[in-house]
Structure 1
């Protein structure tokens, strides 16, 4: 992290909270978007990451993932159950601190259009990005958006071509949607090779935009049951994630309780 981005980071976060084995920043979606503006004004690159139960499960198991989150300028809380657990522990968070793409996307695209941000999306199957581009620019005419699929060799000449495409477009925002932990790994490996811009790992965001996946109704997120909707929609793919992985967080929960009793 450069001294400039480090300085900017402290201006938008009051200090990270230790939660379920990871660290997060208690920022609302509006505060997160303000942070993106601050990082862009500072120049160089920055990362606005996000934690949920899946990333916390992967944290000690995926090589380099902990370093990625440690290096991120901001880490959003992408999970209402995480927030409810934090509140039980007495940490200074509220429901308003839940920050996930589907909740802040319209505010983001409005700001991107109004600020003339150049947005580059990397990820998804071939053709998905084009459908997402059409859907987004239909809602927000004037948005400056470029897309590239995520089906390429990340360690060879194809990755070099992707980096050249990014450099040519010169984006302010780089959205990387490859799923965890691939997207975080790509950002960590290539951040230093991009001259400027704010990176967001966004998972299946453009699959939702393209209509390839059906987004859960937003009320499910407000109630903390979005995971149940997704599980019912894709049981084979998500059963392990939602029914098994959370049990691996039990030791981290005990550590949180121990820390809370000592405060």
Structure 2
């Protein structure tokens, strides 16, 4: 049982494939130019908890072409394992990716959140990124099932929109599961899971101040704003840290032995 848990948690840490935001954007630029699709997930501790528990989520993650470290603990654990990576959050990807699409003339679809938030986000993104083409604003109903018929309808809408990149603001695990399904059906579109990123752009949610994020205290900011909803989530995240730390140390030792 312990060996199985160690292999499982090692696989979680090995799932992070993006060393930096610059490297990611360079690769996405090439893929967009080649009309080659992609799916970007941004791993944090909440994802790690879900990945341990949900086989469907694990399958969706395995279908992603890129996985970034979205959260200081994932960055620290990766470095401890001897696999140094930089912090690349979904929210921080929105601006640079939209700028890239504007320069390349690649139409963008915004999917998720609420119709009002998407309209406001689209207006602000157009204002800040001249030349940006917004191909579609798609907001599924509450209770959206990424494996159901509604998802198939959204895939058809995306195909008709001629979007080249789609920002997904559905939350985990829905956005990653939809990305995996949609990429298989639409291999020329890039899907990027940005969580609350579009709500931050629209102003319907307020992100932690930059100084708070710099000192890795964004989790405390969020918890203070919604303790009833987030306390259990953060407790679950804290509970898996010892096992992930042990896995990271084991990876570092194994790599050191292999180099000798």
TM-score by length of structure 2 reads 0.84
Question: Does the 8 Å CA contact 1:220/1:226 hold for their aligned counterparts?
Answer: yes
Partner of 2:84: 93
Instruction: Report the count of equivalent residues.
Output: 244
**How far is 1:19 from its partner?**
6.9
**How far is 1:153 from its partner?**
5.7
The change in CA–CA distance for 1:27 and 1:111 in structure 2 (over 3 A counts) is: same
Matched, 1:108 2:97: yes
Q: Deviations over 1:115-174 (max 9, x none)?
A: 111111110123221111112112223211121113256555543432222111111111
Task: Give the secondary-structure state (helix, strand or coil) at the position aligned to 2:105.
Answer: coil
Q: Deviations over 1:31-50 (max 9, x none)?
A: 11111112223434211211
Q: Which has the higher contact order (CA 8 A, sep 6+)?
A: 2
The change in CA–CA distance for 1:47 and 1:26 in structure 2 (over 3 A counts) is: closer
Give runs of aligned pairs for residues 55-74 of structure 1, distance below 5 A: 55-74=47-66
Distance 1:193 1:19 in 2: 27
Partner of 1:149: 139
Matched, 1:140 2:126: no
Partner of 1:248: 240
The change in CA–CA distance for 1:121 and 1:140 in structure 2 (over 3 A counts) is: same
Distance 1:137 1:245 in 2: 37
Distance 1:86 1:194 in 2: 32
Give runs of aligned pairs for residues 160-171 of structure 1, distance below 5 A: 160-171=152-163
Task: Give the secondary-structure state (helix, strand or coil) at the position aligned to 1:175.
Answer: strand
Matched, 1:207 2:196: no
Task: Give the secondary-structure state (helix, strand or coil) at the position aligned to 1:120.
Answer: strand
Give runs of aligned pairs for residues 1-263 of structure 1, distance below 5 A: 18=10, 21-89=13-81, 91-93=82-84, 97-145=86-134, 146-151=136-141, 152=144, 154=146, 157-262=149-254, 263=256
Query: Which structure has more helix as a fraction of its residues?
Result: 2
Q: Deviations over 1:187-240 (max 9, x none)?
A: 222322214111111111111111111011223223211111111122222112
C-alpha root-mean-square deviation of aligned residues, in Å?
2.3
Q: Deviations over 1:88-123 (max 9, x none)?
A: 34x2425xx111133333322222211111111110
Distance 2:17 2:24 in 1: 10
Partner of 2:4: none
Gaps (5+ residues) in structure 2?
1-9
Distance 1:83 1:173 in 2: 26
Gaps (5+ residues) in structure 1?
1-17
Question: Does the 8 Å CA contact 1:26/1:93 hold for their aligned counterparts?
Answer: no
Question: Does the 8 Å CA contact 1:57/1:246 hold for their aligned counterparts?
Answer: no
Question: Does the 8 Å CA contact 1:122/1:148 hold for their aligned counterparts?
Answer: yes
